[in-house]
A and B are shown apart, each in its own frame.
Chain A
Amino acid sequence: MKTLIEARKVKAYYVLEIFGKQRTVKAVDEVDLDVQEGSIHGIAGESGCGKTTFLKVLFAAVEPPLRMVDGKVYYVNDAKAVDLYSVDESERKKFRWSFASYVPQGSMSVLNPVLKIKDTFRDFISSHLRGRSKNEAYEMAKEHLKELGLPFKILDAYPHQLSGGMRQRVTIALATVLKPKVIIADEATTALDVVTQRGVIQLLKEIQSRQGSSLVLVTHDMGVHANITNLLSVMYAGKVIEEGRTEELFEDPKHPYTQYLIKSLPRFGDRSKRESPPGSPPSLFNLPSGCAFHPRCPFKMQKCEKEQPATFRVSESHKVACWLAEG
């Protein structure tokens, strides 16, 4: 299995200067992640745990006040690894949409309101494939939409004339029109009702399997992870606390936080009250000492309060950062 994207010790902080006081938010703190070719890699965690920021780092969309403090992100394109942050913007631009593309969270305002859908497609296509004439780009977009089973008449409509679900599908189509190797989807289903959510997930799965591209899916909805992803990383307070094959994590979650997450999922026929971790996620301005989860962890030990847990390998494809696993 070739890895397409390697993220090594990524540190990305928000540097906010709120009325004179300099404050840094450690949104992503030393995270390693490998995106395997052909895999569907899920990233789970409560909102505010830094998963969306990590995606931005992966996609090199770092805008002030977010700043890349340390760490490397390599794009491996036909065996040539390129460190994203050492090359200049024009180089990075080549990777965008052809190597990796990004599906945003709210699709409400992502499409240019004054352009027809086909013009937006044409912009995205022509800015990467030089020399494509106008209707060649339209043909390509029509072709792509037909593949995805979407009515290509929507090309002549304006964004505001489409329903929420339809607009999300168009955004996904837009992100995958150039057949990228990696699709990064950030909460792609959150803004939709359950039924449309199902349709969008189905769409993503189809694209992934037909184009053989790998998918990085960020969502707080564990049901989606269980349904679609084969690899799963759980993030908490800017760190990856557990990572491994999805089935393994669901069957034998090692980290207490992951257990809570899985228990929070309703199951058929199960009438008992859902449990959720006590308290609420820590504010990233002043993280608790040692393991960030310790204030809410029922199994916390002295060690947990003082030292940050190291990462232990539970099995060949299952890692966890928790002192419990040390024993």
Chain B
Amino acid sequence: MQGFDVNKQGFDVNKIVQVSPTAHAQSAEITQWQIVNDMKIAVGFEGADIEKYRKKVLGVTDVSCLARYGVKGPQAAQWLADHEIAIPANSNSWTMCDQKTLVMRLGSSEFLLEDQWGGGACKQLAADSSRQANVYKVARADAAFILSGSAVLNLLSELCAIDLSEQSLSSKEVVMTQVAGISATVLRQTIAGEPVYRLWCDGTYGAYMWQVLLDIAVELGGGAVGLAQYQN
């Protein structure tokens, strides 16, 4: 680096900080931020008690900061297997790899992995820069959400035309559908014993999605829940 003194400029070029794609929609006043996985993310809003309550009624949590890895191609399944990643047997289903990494099979030959708390598989895979025939890395920048609480189906029924209730969406199923008019991926998951819905959409729609989810959540007696409610 030629003739550039970072400190004098008051900007640390070596410290790469990313911002959650939903941040724009989160009201600055009430949001407590924290850097998780190098991403500035909302960990709290109006205090633990309120958020615990919302979580039970209808909580919306931004978990975009979780590490993700995408790969597709005829050999993608094999390649993941070679990297000791447990993959779901069927199209549009998911599995948990050593309780730490969510592995989604989107269609038959595309995969989306997401490290849960303590998971590290995505980082490891990302480190492998070797390129192999019929295995194509899919760069991801998703906005990711946890939707929790007793009224969650009411919220989803306003945003999605298909039936996402337990009777219809089996526990290991992944659906690629439209939510609030944009493409999204949805599944049911259990986090710390709590059944929740997970939702992913393109990060550039993140702020919009957050706004829509929150508007309805508030109408239904819930609201924003910070990441802290899920960090253990």
- Chain B associates with chain A: no
